[in-house]
Chains A and B, each alone.
Chain A
Amino acid sequence: MKEYALLIISAALVNNVILARFLGLCSFMGVTTRIDTAVGMGMATTFVITVSSMADWAVGAYLLEPYNLWYLRTVTFIMVIAAAVQFTELTVKKVSPHLFQMLGIYLPLITTNCAVLGIAILLVEHKMSFIEATLFGFASSIGYSLVMVMFAGLRERMALADIPRLFAGPPIGFIVASLLALAFMGFSGMTS
């Protein structure tokens, strides 16, 4: 039980996917102008990352490992992720067409999000068991959502703040992101 708790803390905070591994930066800067879009994107990404981590683990263990095809892992995982996104899109559409109208716009963005592929490659490189891989995917995406929502909240405040004209917009965004990354360095050393 203890190792699972440490795995979750490590994936969500210590090795945070955005601020420590620097993955998924396109959506980090692109979708965080409002808290509600950041929350929507965070939830959609959490779902897709968890489901695709499970699928990637299964493909790795039952297809790539027995036939010694590890050199194909990047291509295979990209295909699995695209399939997971399509599956999510189809099920949301099937579950409720109205939900799809409201939420569908985030899904194609996730296909091209490197955080999803990065997590899949990390979990096979660390030779995790199935339950560890699922928890790792889930905890990493919780860390991703946490940082997205925090940053969106800061940007909503910054939009109202009196910022020198040279720094307004993305420049102050990058400065704040670097300060957040420094703050997250405080977690380093807690777990490996």
Chain B
Amino acid sequence: MGETVDNMTDFSAPTMIEGIAQVVAVDGNMAWLVPESGTSCGGCSSAAACGSKGIGTVASRLEARRFQLVNDAGLRVGERVVLGIRENALLRASITAYVIPLATLLIAGALAQWVAGSDTVTMAAMLAGLVLGLWFARLRAGRLMAKGELAPRFIRRASAGETCNS
């Protein structure tokens, strides 16, 4: 039993989440990239049957998710590259975007219900809480961005046939 534990990966260590993106344009020192569809439903072999691929969904939105990267590695159009973000960056981003607005929404709603006890007042308070939370999220996202925690980093060029599942 002891040996098994020794061989295990340390799950608490910060690691990089890797993803594959394709270079679609090069503009001076900057490269424009589009992420390839992830490991989730949109990429699976039965995607055509389950409705997660089509108008307004994963595949069609990839184009809208173009992003820039400093082109230090001399990338050319059409090349596939492996990019990474720090694992806890995803966690921080989710907390910023979802947990902060939800927490202010619920706190505002609970306070209003406790003070007034009417559905209309609670609803209005929850809306106000949501707006306040989104404003906090915006401030925090700005701070994270300034520290450079949200930007993906170039790791290596992807080999032919490499997917995010391998």
Contacts and interface: CB of A to CB of B under 8 A. Distances in A.
Interface of A: 26-27, 30-31, 33-37, 39-40, 43-44, 46-47, 50-51, 54, 58, 91-92, 95-96, 98-106, 108-109, 111-112, 129-131, 134, 138, 156-157, 160
Interface stretch (B74-82, B94-102, B154-162): B94-102
B56 A108 contact: yes
Given A112-B52, A156-B11, A134 B109 contact: yes
Contacts of B95: 43
Contacts of B105: 50-51
Given A36-B87, A43-B94, A108-B52, A131 B150 contact: no
Contacts of A112: 41, 50-52
A69 B93 CA distance: 40
Interface in B87-115: 87, 89-91, 93-99, 101-102, 105-106, 109, 113
Which 8 residue pairs are nearest across A and B when measured between Cβ atoms?
A: A96-B141, A47-B98, A130-B119, A98-B150, A43-B94, A43-B98, A108-B57, A95-B138
A22 B99 CA distance: 25
B73 interface: no
A40 B67 contact: no
The main secondary structure of chain A at its interface with chain B is: helix
A91 B109 CA distance: 20
A134 B52 contact: no
B58 A109 contact: yes
Contacts of A26: 41, 50
A67 to B, nearest CB: 19
Contacts of A101: 35, 65, 67, 150
Contacts of A108: 42, 52, 56-58, 61
B39 A33 contact: yes
Contacts of A129: 119
Interface of B: 8-9, 11, 17, 35, 38-42, 44, 50-52, 56-58, 61, 65, 67, 85, 87, 89-91, 93-99, 101-102, 105-106, 109, 113, 119, 122-123, 126, 130, 134, 137-138, 141-142, 145, 150-151
Contacts of B35: 101, 105
B146 to A, nearest CB: 11
B106 A138 contact: yes
B102 A50 contact: yes
Given A92-B97, A108-B58, A160-B9, A102 B39 contact: no
Contact of A98 (B57, B102, B145): B145
A58 B101 contact: no
B61 A30 contact: no
Nearest to B57: A108
Contacts of A44: 94, 97-98
A95 B98 contact: no
Contact of B102 (A27, A35, A47, A102): A47
